[in-house]
Structures are given as structure tokens and as C-alpha cells.
Structure 1
Amino acid sequence: MAGSLHQQLRAAILDGRLAAGAALPSSRTLSIELKVARNTVVTAYDLLVAEGYVMPRRGAKAVVADVRGRAMRKPDAPLPVEDARLAPFWRTPFMPSMATRELPERSFRLGVGDHRHFPHALWRRLTAQTLQAFSKQPFRYAPSEGLPPLRAAIAQHVAFARAVACTADDVIVTSGAQQAFDLLARLLVTPGKTRVAVENPGYPSLRAAFAAVGAELVPMRVDDEGLCVECLGDNDVDIVMVTPSHQSPTGAALSLRRRMALLDYARSRNAVIIEDDYDGEFRFGGRPLDALQTLDRDGIVFYVGTFSKSLFPALRKGFIVAPPWARAPLAQVKQCVDSHSDAITQSVLAAFIRDGHMARHVRKMRGIYAERRAALFAGLEAMDRWLDPIPSEAGMHTAARLRDPGGADRFFRLMREHAPGAQSIAEYAMAPLAEPAVVFGYGVIDADEISARLASLKRALESVAR
């Protein structure tokens, strides 16, 4: 009993509930209140005195000592920006932490697919089969670059779905696309020297991976044809990062003309291209444009893919298709930062792809997303007084420019109320944008609710316009 009381009192002192200088009740008073023996309280007090948490006073009540130096800093306490123990880059965070937004389950949030249509029972069965096989094998560490069956399955998948020419040896399995960007940044960037062209607006986490290793970021304008390759001009960059299939976040596709121009630019300057095939599998128009990696004849394109959108984000599986000259060095980088891969999930994913389940799932979801996309465009068309949709033929989101930039603040206020999850494109920008725009995701919201939400937003806009 004395030990329990001692621990409770010590915890109250450390977290500030008993402040420094506060007088403790007498042992007699506390024993009566707690209905314990007085000796129990005396023993607990004596322990606190011995440890320095309490200061005894002759002829008076004992008081709480000042032990703030002993108390551990709370995990959420902000670190000093100028703390010399931190590397300079992290003293001013490149990506300020964003407060988690509370959104309804069915909303316009970006980057997440619909769990209701995933073949959970099939995935469980494949997982059970994998675990059964795993139980019969000796424990071992899986290779850092990924399990051979998964690397082969990914090579087969991207060849079929995106006409990417590669073999299993060209594939490095990563923990999502974000680790892929981190590995490539470590491989390709010389701190303080390497210049990297990035889309503006663009994917913040991609920029962060390269900024963190000391690259100089050069923002490049994006229009209805994707990255403005002409704007590269004489910028003399070493790396160009681009989302050509479905630009993040505008949704524009890089035109064939610009794809060829970008390859010419990189070839003439001995630069490399990092192709993030964002949402490339969900295409709703005609024949998809060839991936840059497919058009590349000079080994200058690193192709990055992920299963977070086509399957589910908790899977944490992505990959890099590397040109031959970079395969071995990239494998070394992967081994340094992530010396072994997870065998079980990779085995399940390999079977899911190999047995045709991946292709069937993507085909089914493409039909579901096409219906939602049509509802979204219909709703945007009805709101053409306020919004001008940006052409898009792929992905799980669509963007639109505001026709009245002066009314942007009012529009975004009403958008947050009537179209939860939709975002301003400015949230993706690293430099000021010429035109305000909004992006709507349709991965987790049904077509009828898309129509209802946009109709509600339209009524709200009409109301304030009167």
C-alpha cells in the first residue's frame, strides 16, 4: 500500500499536479482521508523525502520540492528552433505539421481508395496461405531490394498496365512511393550543388525528400498540358521530377509533345527524370499516353509506382524501375537505409498480382470511379459560373480553377462546409500561384452524394451572390 501511494504522489509531483512549494497534508490527515494506517503514509512520505521529491520542515508540513529539472519533456512539447543538436534543415521544418481534419467517411478527400470494394476475403485467404507456408520455413532475412517473386510480378504488372519495359532485376521494392523518393534523393543529390526541377503546385512529400538531403529546388509552372517543359529553358537542372499521367494535384496529363521535349532536355544536359506514375492505372479516356520510361531510349528515367491508391495505403508498398547503370548503386542505398524487407506482405502482394487479382480489381474500380468522375464533372458543369474544370482523363481526383479569384476566400469557406475534403491547390504550392483552384477527390464518395454535395455548394454560392 505504501509503495502504491508513493508512486501516485511522485507521479503527481512530476506532471505538475502537485506544484513546487505546495504543502502536503499531515500524515494523520491523509491517513484518515484515504482510510489507511498512518504508518503507510509516513513510509510513503519518507520515500519521497529520500528521493528528493519532498522537503521536510521542522514544526511544519512538508512541501513539494522543485523537481522540474527531473521531469521529462512531454512528447508534444515543441523543440527549440535553434537547438544546435538538430541538423540545420530540421530546425525549421520543411513540412509544418498539419492538424488532422475530421472528415465524414464519405467525403471529397484525396488519395484514398474505397475500402468497400476491396476483396478483403481474398486477401485474407492469400495471407493465410502465406503464413502457412512461412510456418514451415526456417526464419531468414528477406533481401533488401524485395522478394524475387514480387519483383517479377511488378515487372509483369507494369509491362501489361503501362507498357513499361523492364525485368525483375530493374525493380526495387520500397515502403511506398515516399521511400522511393528518399532513396533516389540519397542516390542522386550532391548537397548544395544538385538542382531539382519540381512541379508547382506539386506533391509536398516528394519535394521534402530532396530538400532534406540538400538539393536546390527549382519550382516549375504547371498548366493544362502538365509541367511547362519550355519553362525549364536554361535553368540547367540536374533532376526533373514529374507526375505525367495525372499531375498532382491539378490532374493534367503531360502532353506527348512535352514528353518528347522533356526527354530531349534531359538527354542534352545529362540530367535524369523521376517519373511518379501517380494514378496512372485509372484512365477514363482513350489510349493512355506512353510512360516516359517507355519512350526513354537513353536510360535517363527512374519510374516510381505505388500500390497505395490502386489497393490500400496501409499496404505500404511501392517500387522503382531503375535504368541499368543505377541498379546496383540504388540497391546499395536501399540496403543501407532498410537492410531487409518484410517477407509476408510482399509474398501476399506477389500472389495477388501473379494470379490476376490485381488486374481484375483495377478494372472493377476503374468502372466505379468512372461513374463518380462523371457525376463530379456534371456537378462542376452546373457550377460553371464559379468553376472552370481542368482537363483530366485519369486518376481519383479532378481540379477546377476559380473564375473569380477575388471571391476565393468566400468560396473556400463555403467549400469546407458543403464539400468536406476538397482542398485548395495552394496547399500543394511552394511558390505563389497565378490562379486559385480547388481539387475534389472521388475515391471514397459515391456518385449520388457527389451530386448532392455539389448542389448544396451551388445553392450556398447562389445565396451569398444575391
Structure 2
Amino acid sequence: MKLKTINFERVKGKALYVQIYEKLRSDIVSGYLVKGDQLPSIRKCEVLMKVSKTSIERAYEKLQEEGYIISLPQKGFFVDVEPENIRLRKAVTAQESKLYDEKIRYDFRSQTMDVSSFDLALWKKYLKEVLDGRYEIATYGEAQGEARLRVALQKYAYTVRGVLCTSDQLLIGSSFQSLLYVLCGLLDKPLVIGMEESGFQQAETVFSDYAFPIRRLHSEADGICMQELAVSDVTLLYVNSASTGRNHQPISKKKRKELLAWAAHNKAVIIEDDHNGELRYHTRMTPAMQGFDTGGHVVYIGSFSKILLPSLRISYMVLPPALHQRYQQRLNSYSPTSSKIEQLALARYIADGHLERHVRRLRRHYEQKSNHMRELLQHWFPQADILLEEAALQFIVRFSKPLPLDTIISQAREYRMRLQTNTQGELVLSFAAIKMEDMEEAVKLLHELVVSACI
């Protein structure tokens, strides 16, 4: 077939060559144009389509570069895609469209946050200062983490969370998981893992990779059932001290004492995941369990994913003296996992007092957002139990009867809304990324989806 012209609807604000390229690529991938079909000449396009020679040339060049068409001397341009490659190219095109064209309106998932709550201009200033230091960025980072950041974090963790350690006991990694992999390599084997029945997928993945058996322990209102733990064979206990038990509250003084006594009696290790533990805006701030550990049984892990930015991949771990000594013996076997540039920028940011000021602002900000969100949820879902997880910046919505959550989540996608559930089949709504002015409309839409799915 010989194509006489290229028909497409022009869009303002998009380069003409891009529109021509996308139209031809779409027709080839869709099968309207097949191998051997001839495209109109550049001269003919100029005359019939009233476009510049440059626009046609650039569109054809891009199609040639990607293997869609071929130029034959004295003959012209021809489609050059084998039929068996069409399916693959169609899949790639669809994937690209999904990645770049989809815009989410309401994201209730926990992986995102409201970027407006973070001073990006200030953060860029610190990044620029580091980048201006040529010597620092021309050398490899420290496997244990940059010394400046470890010093800054040691002071911050003590001041804000009551963590007792030296800067040398601190390890910096790109994520909770990367630090947990290091820890599991340091611990004596075999190990039996204890976790609340709700679990934590990121931690479970690491434990499974090491082939450690996992014991799921019953959750009481204030945390793990101590009677069940006492008769178990658990040697390594994972605890989310910022959100524990059926009520998802910070660990209580009573439970903290019981867990530390259990660890001392059984010579066991407790991993204290204090994920965003400093984000307290309704309940009183409780210090980290690590600060009360006198026997070296607690490994403390903290992160900044909801405090700064999820894309800032910096977490830190505090090792007890015995494990720290073991780590030092193997130090040369490790490599840094977190960006040196971001570590040095964060060190300056913390040292200048910005992190503590930022956390104080966040507490006020999230108190307002959580209050507004709770009011909306109680209004639209009066029969449901609404539980706030402060540190996680999310609400657990427990309905009186089971709901078709898979259907609700699927229908929500059609309205560009993203939802998530937990292992108990409860709806988990993070308000971190939802703007205050959008909350009412978002919760109202969610209510309509729930009602529609239950009819």
C-alpha cells in the first residue's frame, strides 16, 4: 500500500514532528500499516499537510532510529517491522503510555506523601553546597555511612527519641531492608523469628531469604501476647514500636519492660523498628525502647521516608556493642548503599537544626490533616471503626461485615484513585499524599465506590 498523506488531529503545545511520529508509530503498531507499505515523500507532506520539511524529516528520522521504517535510495520510506515484532512493540507502547499518561487523582497508598510539606528549595541548597565540594564527591563513600551524618544522627536520635549510642555504633543504609540484610548476616545462627500476626512484608522477605522460620504471635490490644512469646522458641523478635498491637498504638511502658525482660532472660535479640516514631501529634511522645536496654539486646532502626521524602533513601541502624564489634571485623567486606551526596547534605541539614524544626512543623500539619480526615470518615462511614496509625500517617477502616475489597480497589482505579488493604482484609487509607482541599471529595468518592460494590 502507498500512503498518500498522514491524517492526524493537531494538538496545540506539542511539537508537530512528535505528533507525526506518534501517529505513524500508532498505525504501525496497530497493524494499519504493515511491512512494505510506502509512506508519503517529504516533499508531498510539505505540500499536502502544510508542514515544514524539518518536522517531517525529524519524525521520519525518529521512526528509522527505532526500527519502524527504512529509507531506500531513489524509492522512499517504507514500513520495516516484521509481523512477529508487532506484538512486542505494541506491549512496549502500551507500557510507555501507562507510565507517562496515567495521572492519579487520589492516592491513599502509604508509598507517597504530600511534597508541599517539605521545603525543596532548602534541600536543593544543601545538595548544591555538597556538589560544590569537588574533593568530597570525587571519593568513595564510607561503607558504614558518612561520619558527619553518623555524628548528626547520633545527636538527633538521642534528643528526639532517647536512643543511647555512640556515632560509631550507627550504620547508614539505603533502606530498612538493606540494613536488615546486614544485621541477619551478623547474628548467630540458627534463628527463629517472632512477629505480630499482622506481620511486615519487607522484613519477612529478608527473613525468608535467610531461610529463618517465622512464628506469628497473637496480637493483644497493646502488642504481642507475652504468654505466647514466653513459651515459644523465638530467638529474634521484630517489633514496630511506633505502631503495635490491635490498636496500632506506640508500645506501652509495661510492654516495653516485659519485652526487655524476656530478651534478657532468653539472651534474645529485639529489632526495634521505630519507623517515623517522632511523628506524634495526638498521643504523648514515648522514648525508644533501645534507650532502656541495659543488656545489649535491642537493635534500633530508624528512617525518614515520611519525614523528608520517600525518594531520599537513607535509613540508620544502631547496633549493640557486641554486634558492632562483629560488624567492625567485617567492615572491609561491605560497600555503601546510600548516596554519599545525600548523606552529606542531610548531615548539614540536621546540624543546622532544620530537621527538628521540620518535624515540629509536620506534627502540626499532620494533626490538622488527621483531624479533618477522621471527621470525614466518621461522617461517611458511621458504622465502621476508624483507627489512626500516627507514625504511618494512615487510618485503618474496619467494617462491620466483609466487603468485596478487590472489586472496590479495581473500580477505584477507573476513577484514578489508589487504595490498599492490610493482611487482615481491612482498608488502609494513608492521608500523607492527599491535600486538605481534596480530602472531602476523595472520601465521598470512596463512599460511593463502597456502596456501589455492596449493592
Report the TM-score range of the alignment, normalised by the length of the smaller protein. Answer: 0.7 to 0.9
- Whether the aligned pair in 1 keeps the contact of 2:114 and 2:432 (CA below 8 Å) is yes
- Look up the equivalent residue of 2:435 and give its one-letter code: D
Q: CA deviation at 1:446?
A: 1.6
User: Could you tell me which residue of structure 1 aligns to residue 112 of structure 2?
Assistant: 112
d(CA) in 2 for partners of 1:125, 1:136: 18
d(CA) in 2 for partners of 1:360, 1:138: 28
- Residue deviations 1:372-421 (CA, integer Å, cap 9, x gap): 11122112222444421235444311212221126656665666667933
Structure 1 pair 261–35 and aligned structure 2 pair: CA distance change class (3 A): closer
User: Could you tell me which residue of structure 2 aligns to residue 285 of structure 1?
Assistant: 282
Deviates most, 346-355 or 308-317 = 308-317
- Look up the equivalent residue of 2:446 and give its one-letter code: L
d(CA) in 2 for partners of 1:459, 1:339: 48
- Residue deviations 1:71-129 (CA, integer Å, cap 9, x gap): xx99x9xxxxxxxxxxxxxxxxxxxxxx9996615421203332223222212221222
- Residue deviations 1:20-45 (CA, integer Å, cap 9, x gap): xxxx9xxxxxxxx964489xxxxxxx
Aligned-residue identity in percent: 26
Structure 1 pair 226–412 and aligned structure 2 pair: CA distance change class (3 A): farther
User: Could you tell me which residue of structure 2 aligns to residue 452 of structure 1?
Assistant: 441
Structure 1 pair 460–208 and aligned structure 2 pair: CA distance change class (3 A): closer
- Whether the aligned pair in 1 keeps the contact of 2:187 and 2:323 (CA below 8 Å) is no
d(CA) in 2 for partners of 1:454, 1:398: 12
User: Could you tell me which residue of structure 2 aligns to residue 164 of structure 1?
Assistant: 163
d(CA) in 1 for partners of 2:381, 2:252: 25
d(CA) in 1 for partners of 2:137, 2:254: 53
- Look up the equivalent residue of 2:349 and give its one-letter code: F
User: Could you tell me which residue of structure 1 aligns to residue 348 of structure 2?
Assistant: 351
User: Could you tell me which residue of structure 2 aligns to residue 130 of structure 1?
Assistant: 130
User: Could you tell me which residue of structure 2 aligns to residue 221 of structure 1?
Assistant: 218
Q: Secondary structure at the match of 1:313?
A: coil
- Residue deviations 1:317-353 (CA, integer Å, cap 9, x gap): 1110111111122345564242586432211110000
Q: Secondary structure at the match of 1:242?
A: strand
Deviates most, 384-393 or 205-214 = 384-393
Q: Secondary structure at the match of 2:395?
A: strand
Q: CA deviation at 1:224?
A: 3.6
User: Could you tell me which residue of structure 1 aligns to residue 255 of structure 2?
Assistant: 258
- Whether the aligned pair in 2 keeps the contact of 1:177 and 1:306 (CA below 8 Å) is yes
- Residue deviations 1:209-245 (CA, integer Å, cap 9, x gap): 1210121111223354233344323111110011111
- Structure 2, unmatched stretches of 5+, are 1-28, 30-35, 37-69, 76-81, 83-87, 92-97
Equivalent of 2:229 in 232, 236, 252? 232
User: Could you tell me which residue of structure 1 aligns to residue 182 of structure 2?
Assistant: 183
Q: Secondary structure at the match of 2:177?
A: helix
Deviates most, 215-224 or 256-265 = 215-224
d(CA) in 2 for partners of 1:409, 1:100: 22
User: Could you tell me which residue of structure 1 aligns to residue 121 of structure 2?
Assistant: 121
1:308 correspondence with 2:305: yes
Structure 1 pair 236–378 and aligned structure 2 pair: CA distance change class (3 A): same
User: Could you tell me which residue of structure 2 aligns to residue 274 of structure 1?
Assistant: 271
User: Could you tell me which residue of structure 1 aligns to residue 325 of structure 2?
Assistant: 328
User: Could you tell me which residue of structure 1 aligns to residue 154 of structure 2?
Assistant: 155
Q: Secondary structure at the match of 1:314?
A: coil
User: Could you tell me which residue of structure 1 aligns to residue 52 of structure 2?
Assistant: none
- Look up the equivalent residue of 2:418 and give its one-letter code: G
Q: CA deviation at 1:453?
A: 1.8
Q: Secondary structure at the match of 1:439?
A: strand
User: Could you tell me which residue of structure 1 aligns to residue 51 of structure 2?
Assistant: none
Q: Secondary structure at the match of 2:233?
A: coil
Q: CA deviation at 1:305?
A: 0.7
Q: CA deviation at 1:143?
A: 2.2
d(CA) in 2 for partners of 1:279, 1:146: 20
Aligned residues: 374
d(CA) in 2 for partners of 1:273, 1:297: 13
* Structure-1-length-normalised TM-score: 0.71
Q: CA deviation at 1:462?
A: 4.8
d(CA) in 2 for partners of 1:231, 1:450: 41
- Look up the equivalent residue of 2:301 and give its one-letter code: V
Deviates most, 397-406 or 217-226 = 217-226
Q: CA deviation at 1:437?
A: 1.2
d(CA) in 1 for partners of 2:379, 2:320: 47
Structure 1 pair 207–460 and aligned structure 2 pair: CA distance change class (3 A): closer
- Look up the equivalent residue of 1:110 and give its one-letter code: S
- Residue deviations 1:294-336 (CA, integer Å, cap 9, x gap): 2212110000011222111222111101111111223455642
Q: Secondary structure at the match of 2:218?
A: strand
- Structure 1, unmatched stretches of 5+, are 1-16, 18-23, 25-32, 39-63, 65-72, 77-98, 427-432
Q: Secondary structure at the match of 1:112?
A: coil
d(CA) in 2 for partners of 1:391, 1:178: 25
- Whether the aligned pair in 2 keeps the contact of 1:400 and 1:439 (CA below 8 Å) is yes
Q: Secondary structure at the match of 1:273?
A: strand
1:439 correspondence with 2:438: no
User: Could you tell me which residue of structure 2 aligns to residue 198 of structure 1?
Assistant: 195
Q: Secondary structure at the match of 2:333?
A: helix
Deviates most, 372-381 or 227-236 = 227-236
Q: CA deviation at 1:438?
A: 1.3
User: Could you tell me which residue of structure 2 aligns to residue 57 of structure 1?
Assistant: none
Q: Secondary structure at the match of 1:448?
A: helix
d(CA) in 2 for partners of 1:263, 1:417: 48
